[in-house]
């Protein structure tokens, strides 16, 4: 019997490819550019699994053209790049990589929060520029973190991990989520559930931890930014389109809010021109889960999910169990 075949659309950590090669034939696109949509469709012919990344747009149209594919294993916890209902209708299993990146992503959300509040990129550039002449009472004065109120939009795995870090900084934690966390989790985190309007009005830091769905697209727009304090800091490590980037750039320019720390953007890798000119926008290139260990684990987890599906087992991180009867 001929071996099953896996398409890996873009460079991953090598152990994941080695693992797959031990079991299957592998068509590995080991480049940084990855595949165009047309190339992905063409190269998927004859493959039963696709190991994809969040830069692969697997819309309903694309999925309809994936002949013979049984599983799409995304190397990410987020899967807004895949039309899961379309995959389900086509009988294709879809998997993601939850859990392994929770702490790394929470570390980064907190890093971004601190760097933004305390103006680290500006301070670094200032020292390098040679402009530093003396100690000044208000030189690069930032916002306090200790004792401030953190508003978490979404208290899932990552939101809760950020809350645990915030506790160590004596922060007051409020959150909003469609679903209330169990009482013992609220107690452990010292987190109080509030309405979105109250969170926006009272939080010193608003940190976003929701998946991108039709309901969360532009969850933070001009109206929401207006409700925030002029001293407030917005942190986004979720997905770019959760924030209306143009409205945010205006708010930062007009100082409606104080600053923003962003790891994700609406049209990555493009960034709204205005944001690039604003010192109160601290920007990172979608690296919240990028520790070597975590990105290695994500690569392996996706490979293991693909392998399980091809071997007739239920993948550990199956998003559409309806396809596996």
Residues of this chain that interact with ligand GLV (CB under 6 A) are 54, 76-78, 101, 289
Dump the DSSP string for 176-234. Answer: E-SSPPPHHHHHHHTEEE--HHHHHHH-SEEEE-----TTTTTSB-HHHHHHS-TT-EE
**Distance between first and last Cα of the chain:** 25
> Six-digit token pair at 46?
């004859």
- Asked if residue 74 lies in contact with residue 94, where contact means CB atoms within 8 angstroms, the answer is yes
CB of 241 to ligand GLV, least distance (A): 13
Shortest CB 263 distance to ligand GLV, Å? 8
What six digits make up the tokens of 195? Answer: 């309405």
Q: 120-129 vs 102-117: helix axis angle to the nearest 10? A: 60
Q: Least Å distance between CB 25 and ligand GLV?
A: 27
- CB closer to ligand GLV, 53 vs 143: 53
CA-CA-CA-CA dihedral for 267, 288, 180, 224, to nearest 10: -40
Non-local CB neighbours of 97 within 8 Å, separated by 6+ positions = 74, 75, 76, 77, 297, 298, 301, 302, 305, 317
76 vs 82, which CB is nearer to ligand GLV?
A: 76
Question: Closest Cα partner for 106 from 309, 288, 292?
Answer: 288
- Would you say 78 or 154 has its CB closer to ligand GLV? 78
Question: At closest approach, how far in Å is the CB of 93 from ligand GLV?
Answer: 18
Q: CA-CA distance, 58 to 223, in Å (whole number)?
A: 32
Closest approach of ligand GLV to the CB of residue 288, in Å = 6
Q: What share of the chain is helix, strand, coil (3-state, %, to 5)?
A: 40, 15, 45
* Residue whose CB is less far from ligand GLV, 77 or 145: 77
Which position has the token pair 């000119």? 277
Tokens of 60: 């309903």
Q: Show which residues are catalytic.
A: 239, 268, 286
Min. distance of Cβ 52 from ligand GLV in angstroms?
12
């Amino acid at each position: 019997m001929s071996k099953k075949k896996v398409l890996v659309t873009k460079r991953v950590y090598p152990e994941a490819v080695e693992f797959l090669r031990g079991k299957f034939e592998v068509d590995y696109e080991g480049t940084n550019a990855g595949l165009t949509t047309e190339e992905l469709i063409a190269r998927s012919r004859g493959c039963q699994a696709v190991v994809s990344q969040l830069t692969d747009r697997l819309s309903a149209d694309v999925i309809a053209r994936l002949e013979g594919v049984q599983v799409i294993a995304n190397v990410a916890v987020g899967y807004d790049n895949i039309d899961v209902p379309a995959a389900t209708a086509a009988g294709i299993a879809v998997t993601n990589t939850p859990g392994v990146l929770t702490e790394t992503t929470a570390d980064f959300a907190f890093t971004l929060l601190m760097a933004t509040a305390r103006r680290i990129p500006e301070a670094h550039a200032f020292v390098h520029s040679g402009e530093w002449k003396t100690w000044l009472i208000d030189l690069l004065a930032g916002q306090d973190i200790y004792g401030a109120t953190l508003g978490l939009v979404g208290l899932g795995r990552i939101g809760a991990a950020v809350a645990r870090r915030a506790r160590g900084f004596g922060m007051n934690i409020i959150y909003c989520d469609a679903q209330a966390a169990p009482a013992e989790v609220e107690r452990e985190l010292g987190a109080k559930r509030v309405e979105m309007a109250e969170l926006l009005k009272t939080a010193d830091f608003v940190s976003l931890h929701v998946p991108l769905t039709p309901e969360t697209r532009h969850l933070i727009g001009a109206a929401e930014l207006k409700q925030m304090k002029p001293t407030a800091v917005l942190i986004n490590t979720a997905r770019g389109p959760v924030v209306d980037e143009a409205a945010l750039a205006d708010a930062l320019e007009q100082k409606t809010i104080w600053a923003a720390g962003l790891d994700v953007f609406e049209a990555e890798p493009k960034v709204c021109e205005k944001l690039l000119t604003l010192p109160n926008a601290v920007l990172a290139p979608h690296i919240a889960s990028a520790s070597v260990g975590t990105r290695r684990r994500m690569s392996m987890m996706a490979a293991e999910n693909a392998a399980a599906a091809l071997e007739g087992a239920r993948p550990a991180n199956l998003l559409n169990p309806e396809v596996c009867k």
